[in-house]
Amino acid sequence: MASFKDDIVSDFASLIKSILYGCWFVFSTDYAKREVKMASFKDGIVFDGSRKVGNVKDGIIRDGASLGSGKALGNVKDDVVRDGSTKGSGRVLFNVKNGTVREDNGWGRGRSIGKTSSFAIKGMERELDATIVAAYHFLVKKII
């Protein structure tokens, strides 16, 4: 007959195995269900899959389906992203300097949110980093 100590160790080991298996099962099923869609950019229009979600023209991000149309969501001026409708106006949301996105109104100051590579949109590689991150924020997924 097994001792009390052996029963505890055996029960603990089976508990750990079930927890690890359960975590793996939940992670694997969640990962399999998740649909990975990357936003893309062509001729000033931002797409999410095949759906047009907005456009970028002269540093102003809009929600319209054609270039220059739609309601202005935000703007970029001097690597600072704002929520106003014209360049340089509105409340400051974040700034971009040396590949780092920061949450503050001063250029290069504030708490780091992440790297610009985390907020990439396929096809926007030639745009300014601040414009890419602003388009991602306003049209794909809010980052702050």
pLDDT (tens digit per residue) in 105-144: 777 789 999 999 999 999 999 999 999 999 999 999 999 8
Tell me the sheet residues that pair with 96: 101
Q: Can you read off the two tokens belonging to residue 69?
A: 């149309």
Alpha-carbon distance of 84 to 107, in angstroms, equals 18
Q: What pLDDT is attached to residue 74?
A: 97
Q: What pLDDT is attached to residue 7?
A: 56
pLDDT (tens digit per residue) in 3-37: 555 555 566 566 566 565 554 444 444 443 444 46
Alpha-carbon distance of 102 to 57, in angstroms, equals 23
Asked if pLDDT for residue 95 goes beyond 60, the answer is yes
Asked if pLDDT for residue 43 goes beyond 60, the answer is yes
Asked if pLDDT for residue 53 goes beyond 80, the answer is yes
Asked if pLDDT for residue 96 goes beyond 90, the answer is yes
Residue 111 near residue 104, CB atoms below 8 Å = yes
Query: What are the extents of the domains in the chain?
Result: 1-34, 39-140
Alpha-carbon distance of 20 to 14, in angstroms, equals 10
Phi-psi group of 126: left, alpha or beta (phi > 0 → left; psi -120 to 50 → alpha; rest → beta): alpha
Phi-psi group of 110: left, alpha or beta (phi > 0 → left; psi -120 to 50 → alpha; rest → beta): left
Helix or strand (DSSP H, E) at 11 = helix 4-33
Looking at per-residue pLDDT, the higher value among 22 and 45 belongs to: 45
Do strands 51-57 and 39-42 pair parallel, antiparallel, or not at all (unpaired)?
unpaired
Alpha-carbon distance of 67 to 102, in angstroms, equals 28
